[in-house]
Amino acid sequence: MSFVKLDDGHRPDSSEVFLDTSIHCCFHKGETLGLRLRWLLRLFFWRGSSTYSMTEYGNVILATAQYYLRKLRELKSVARVQEHLAHVLPPQHHERRTWAFSLIQTLGRTEEERTLRAVASLRRLLKLGTSAVEAHCDPPLADGTRCHWGKTGLQRRRDGEYIWKTPNCRSTNKACNVDGFFVDHRETFESIKKEIDGLDVDLLTDELRQFSRVIGDALAAPSILLDYNRGCKLLADALIAVDSKDFRSFATQNYKESQVLTKVLGQRCYYLPNNPEHGVAILEDDAANAAESRGA
Amino acid sequence: MKWEDGTGGDVAFQRQVTAQVPLEYESVSGDRWAPGIETLGCRCTGEAKRRSATVAPTKPSVSARRVPDRALRRRRLYLKACLDDLERVRNAVDDPILRGNSLADVKNHLQQLWELVEGDPQSEAFEEMVNVLQIAFCIESAEILTPRQLEGLWSVLVEMHHDPEIDDEAANDLTRELMRSGVDVFREIG
């Protein structure tokens, strides 16, 4: 399997595409990625996603917005926040260095105005919450897991501040259908596990190993998935992938995991690398291509 | 005071006038005639109560509104100007100069609107929406905006002009509307 860069003449196999959580996060990753993302989305008439992506979007985007907002209020300047992120944050927190506030630098004439605008933008992003996932897609979202946290994770404090709460679901207090979803798609999850277990060591990632282990545990007791930290969090991308099984095209930024998952689910995998030089890529089956060219 | 010994029958009846106490509320139940007296229930006879039930629920009184009317009128004024400018942007397809000038006018009017509400804690949602619109119009030429995006921006401006005192819920609806029409709402962050 290898990724091939797409050209303007590409025609997708289906009219619909499923957006992975990483794609929802791409909408906040700057202009160069945004342009390629829009180009990719224009190839399809219908965009779908999963309600489980709302929880992941909250964990990534809303939590980051909350962090930036807190820092902006502490340091009272966008420039100082960026300086803090570049020079003070240790390398292990590199994921915090996500936003550049590029346009705010253009719009704001003084540092005070730039800071006010950055605060207004982050506040709007937080208040909009996970419904941004729905707004990027055509309704309804796939809702196999009936994940409730995506809709309740954003809370408003007494002082009016919006905060994203990290999920703390417990198997003793069932609030979703993740275990039922697993049971309904047991065979698909078994196939995923089988595929991962058969992979070469150099293709295995920590996340794929984790999928295999959690699927193995859940096959024995599906209710373990109800516990967020020990269950569904560790299987998140696989749950979203199985929720996308009705779609023939799958767009993602996590190619290492998605190339395995889309193979099992029989989907075309569209990969959007961060590096603009690589454009937009599609996963091609080398063996099938070779057979086709031999036949031709 | 002079003491008069009598039954009172020959004294001309003097109507007692109730003390007029200024009230801070409009009561229709009858309680206004006995301010300060706390009773378990309403002291009305029934007629007033019946009348009170017919008082139609209305919008919050002018004094209860957070944003003064004068400020709302100014917002409407700028929003109307933005709508006029945007209409020229939409109509002047064959005239790039008029289009460019109209786009610059939209940006100017939005900037004036921003300066009107900048940092006002009572206008948070409105301030956020003006910021969103300014980011959406932060482009070099009007040709970059697709007809669908222009339609979405127009519709949001119309809704804001209709009710310039927007709350968080309304701002969320407007943001979603922009996103659905293909406007890259949070591109300033990235």
B63-78 pLDDT per residue, tens: 455 788 899 999 999 9
| Token pair belonging to B41 | 């229930």
Same domain, B103 and B165: yes
Would the pLDDT of A220 be above 60?
yes
B90 and B175 share one domain: yes
Average confidence (pLDDT) over A90-109: 75
B120 falls in which pLDDT band (50, 70, 90)? confident
Residues B102 and B148 in one domain: yes
**Together in a domain, B74 and B53:** no
Query: What residues form DSSP beta bridges with A163?
Result: A155
- Average pLDDT of chain B? 77
User: What are the chain B neighbours of A99 within 8 Å (beta carbons)?
Assistant: 189-190
Find the domain containing B102 and state its range.
Answer: 68-180
pLDDT for the residue B45: 55
Give yes or no for B112 touching A (CB within 8 A): no
- B138 interfacial to chain A (CB closer than 8 Å): yes
Give the span between the Cα atoms of A190 and A175, in whole angstroms.
Answer: 25
Instruction: Kindly report, residue by residue over A140-189, the tens digit of the pLDDT.
Output: 999 999 999 998 999 998 888 899 999 999 988 888 999 999 999 999 99
Query: What pLDDT, on a 0 to 100 scale, did the predictor assign at position B62?
Result: 47
Taking CA atoms, A295 is separated from A11, A135, A292, B52, in Å, by 22, 45, 5, 88
For residues A240 and A68, give the distance between their C-alpha atoms in angstroms, rounded to a whole number.
Answer: 28
Identify the residue with better confidence: B20 or B25.
B20
Asked whether residue B188 is assigned to any structural domain, the reply reads no
B54 plus B80 within the same structural domain: no
Of all residues in chain A, the one with the smallest CA distance to B127 is: A120
pTM of the model: 0.80
Helix A186-197 vs helix A206-220: crossing angle, to nearest 10: 140
Query: Using 50, 70 and 90 to split pLDDT, how confident is the model at A7?
Result: confident
List of residues 6+ apart from B8 with CB closer than 8 A: none
Closest CA to B77 of B128, B112, B103: B112
Query: Is residue B50 domain-shared with residue B79, that is, in the same domain?
Result: no
Number of domains in chain B: 2
Distance between CA atoms of residues A274 and A200, nearest Å: 26
Cα of first residue to Cα of last residue in chain A, in angstroms, is 20
* Residue B156: per-residue pLDDT: 96
Would residue B108 count as lying in a domain?
Answer: yes
Answer yes or no: do B128 and A121 touch at CB < 8 A: yes
CB-based contacts of B179, cutoff 8 Å, min separation 6: A132, A135, A136, B185
The shortest CB-CB distance from B186 to any of A28, A33, A131 is to A28
| Amino acid letter, B108 | N
Q: Report pLDDT for B3.
A: 52
Q: Does B108 touch chain A (CB under 8 A)?
A: no
pLDDT (0 to 100) of residue A35: 86
B170: nearest CA partner in chain A: A128
* B185 within domain boundaries: no
CA nearest to B180 within chain A: A135
B52 shares its domain with B113? no
* Domain co-membership, B48 together with B87: no
Of the candidates B179, B171, B189, the one whose C-alpha atom is nearest the C-alpha of residue A68 is B189
* Residues B53, B76 within the same domain: no
According to the model, what pLDDT value does residue B47 have?
54
Co-location of B25 and B97 in the same domain: no
Residue B115 at interface with chain A, using a CB cutoff of 8 Å: no
Residue A289 has a pLDDT of: 59
Domain residue ranges of chain A, discontinuous segments joined by +: 2-286
Does the pLDDT of residue A72 top 70, yes or no? yes
Contacts of B23 (CB under 8 A, 6+ apart): B32, B35
Is residue B103 domain-resident? yes
Positions of E strands within chain A: 2-5, 16-19, 46-48, 154-156, 162-164, 249-252, 268-271, 281-284
Paired tokens of A175 = 């609030």
| Mean pLDDT score of chain A | 89
